[in-house]
Amino acid sequence: MRAGLQGRAHAPLLNAATPGHPSRTGQLQAITAALSRAVTRGDVARALVERTLDAVAAQEGALWLVEGAAGVARLVHAAGLPEEERARLEVLPLERGAGPVSGSMVACEAQYLGSRRELAERFPRARMDRVPELALAAVPLEAEGRCLGALALVFHARRHFDEEERIFLAVLARVAAQALARARLYESERAARAEAEGAHRRAAFLGEASALLASSLDWEETLASVARLAVAGVADWCWVELPEGLAGGAPPVVVAHVDPARAELSAAWRRRFPPEPDAPSGAPAVMRTGRSELYPELPASLLDALGRDSEALAADRALETCSAMVVPLSARGRTLGTITLVASRVDRRYGPEDLAMAEELGRRAGVAMDNARLYDEAQRAIRARDDVLAIVSHDLKNPLEAIYLSSALLLRSGAAPRLRRHAETIQRSAARMDRLIRELLDLSSIEAGRLVVEPRPEPLDAVVEEALAGLSPLALERGIALGADTGGAREPVPCDRERILQVLSNLVGNALQFTPRGGHVTVRATLAPAEARVEVRDDGPGIAPAQLRRVFDRYWKSGSRRGSGLGLSIAKGLVEAHGGRIEVESRLGAGSTFRFTLPRR
């Protein structure tokens, strides 16, 4: 059939003119020009149907396009077709006997039916009862070896489709098929470009979200940031909701809207009509299951199906909800809350890509909120600890002073040797307890950033010698040689003398504790142009490599070490408060060396 039409499509036939009407060639040129200007498949369908109706004087026309592997063709444009008939013919099955239009697409062959009787004989299933008599032409649109769709023309009278008209429609169908293929390619490229731009926007949005969420560790500010960010980029309304038990004093619902004046309307609606905790969908269901929900469209019938009273339904409709998503706020395998994103503009419809982006936002926001919650808990624990330390230091200092002074009086009173031993034990214990209280207070100040150092120019060699003078009796008692090399550190160095004495006392005292009898502990101080360097070296047993990274941790102690385990941690905090640094080198069996620096400028 197609080869025959091609063989007989001679120019004279197309150039033949009907009196009072343009030639077929002129009509074809006009329609081809209109099709060349059409950009989308919808534009092509509109231009083809409406111009072809005028060219052949048909009363009705329509174009269907095949939908891939779905086995159907969908109506793209129609003219002159009654509304009820348009709805009935919206989707046609691709079956040979279903009707002339379906048959033309299945066989990829034109169907010309000159009368109602011919239509009934060849296609008994076809229904065309609207007009007493009719004729119908169904022409397939073929390109690249496959049928893209079909053009149907209906005449409200009997008609003989002569050879010239058939050739005209066949040529027109080829031109239209090429225009459709070109439009489809354009739409594919545009969709790919839109998808790439959308992916870029989503990635940029998530990048901005990460930066914003990382900017605060405040629980309520994090909630508000999520809502503000959503309405700035992907939604018209946004609710961020938490269970009451997780809110930690923050409001369980945060509301934002692109129009701030309408945010209060949404908040009032949410307060007055809260969702039922066991609701089968929406935020309560997402909170229970941890599974997202996507509503590309929210027709009025869906709102009616929720079973809410008339007042609640009126409030629902006032929100102008067109599309919505509800995603979980999740972290560490827990659902902490939900984010509801609502589009109220008719040109915004959420799809799977939007849902994937919202789910990623929920994960990032969940981690940020979990971090904020943990930080808040840590801050409360630190405040509680500081309160306890303040009470302990205040309430224990006076009794300790009394105990220390009483033991000192006993020692000066010439008591019996046995009583003196007890008094000395009491005095040592009181001194140890006083030192522990001071260490705890120092550590609390360091961690809270409240530790204040007051640097003044001090000769470093004198500071070292003063520290060693206080520790010499302990070294003598333990049979350890304690020495210093400070010849290169006589110039003043800016430092808080009392705090550096405390650092040296902690480091040297630690070395004396671990160095065996007959061993050596040496303190060396030197000056470089930018900094002063001090090192404390001992020939004790050394520290195992696995424990080196924990030496400056709070409360860390080796197996044989006595004390609170705070000395080295406090020494690190004091050095860093001066702007310096501290480190350790050690090998098992070869002793340890602790070094710290102090900036000179």
Q: What is the rounded average pLDDT of the residues 256-274? A: 72
16-46 pLDDT per residue, tens: 444 545 688 888 899 999 998 989 999 999 9
Name the DSSP letter for residue 294. Answer: E
Helices (H), 123-254: 163-213, 219-233
Asked if residue 140 has pLDDT above 90, the reply is yes
Helix or strand run (H / E) with residue 547 = helix 545-548
User: Does the structure show a pLDDT above 80 at 320?
Assistant: no
Comparing 102-116, 169-183, 345-359, 571-585, the range with the smallest average pLDDT is 345-359
Write down the pLDDT at residue 508.
93
Mean pLDDT of 123-145: 87
Per the model's pLDDT, the better-predicted residue between 150 and 601 turns out to be: 150
Q: What is the pLDDT of residue 483?
A: 92
pLDDT of 286 strictly over 80: yes
Exposed e or buried b per residue across 134-165, where buried means at least 16 C-beta atoms within 10 angstroms of its C-beta: bbbbbbbbbbeeebbbbbbbbbeeebebeebb
pLDDT value at residue 578: 92
pLDDT in tens, 525-563: 999 999 999 999 999 888 888 888 888 887 666 655 555
pLDDT at 47: 93
Task: Output 244 or 285, whichever has higher pLDDT.
Answer: 285
Distance separating alpha carbons of residues 219 and 373, to the nearest angstrom: 6
The β-bridge partners of 93 are 72
Q: Average pLDDT in the 318-323 region?
A: 74
**Helix, strand or coil for residue 327?**
strand
pLDDT of residue 100: 92
Say what percent of the chain tops pLDDT 90: 32
Residue 288 CA to residue 323 CA, distance in Å, equals 22
Of 562, 552, 566, whose CA–CA distance to 445 is shortest?
Answer: 566
Mean pLDDT of the chain, nearest integer: 82
User: DSSP string spanning 347-398?
Assistant: T----HHHHHHHHHHHHHHHHHHHHHHHHHHHHHHHHHHHHHHHHHHHHHHH
pLDDT given at position 12: 41
Least confident stretch, 67-76, 370-379, 568-577: 370-379
Q: How far apart are CA 234 and CA 349, in angstroms?
A: 10
pLDDT per residue as tens digits for the range 386-415: 777 677 666 666 677 777 787 777 777 776
Q: What is the pLDDT of residue 278?
A: 82
More confident residue, 370 or 160: 160
Contact 558, 568 (CB under 8 A): no
Q: Are 471 and 508 in contact (CB under 8 A)?
A: yes
pLDDT for the residue 313: 60
> Quick one: which of 287, 367, 282 has its CA closest to 328?
287
Residue 520 tokens, joined: 């050596």
Backbone angles phi, psi at 343, to 5 degrees: -105, 130
For residues 230 and 206, the answer to whether their CB atoms sit within 8 Å is no
Q: According to the per-residue pLDDT averaged within each range, which of 187-191, 196-200, 241-245, 388-392 is highest?
A: 187-191
Selected residue with higher pLDDT from 430 and 27: 27
Lowest average pLDDT, out of 195-209, 243-257, 319-333, 401-415, goes to 243-257
Residue 241's pLDDT band (cuts 50, 70, 90) = confident
316 confidence band (pLDDT: 50, 70, 90): low
Q: Is the dihedral of CA 54, 56, 60, 64 positive or negative?
A: negative
Q: For 148-156, what is the mean pLDDT?
A: 94
Q: Which two tokens stand for residue 465?
A: 């010698």
As a whole number of angstroms, the distance between CA 356 and CA 256 comes to 21
- Domains of the chain by range and CATH? 24-188 (3.30.450.40), 212-365 (3.30.450.40), 378-447 (1.10.287.130), 451-599 (3.30.565.10)
Q: What is the mean pLDDT of residues 411-429?
A: 76
* Greater model confidence, 405 or 286: 286
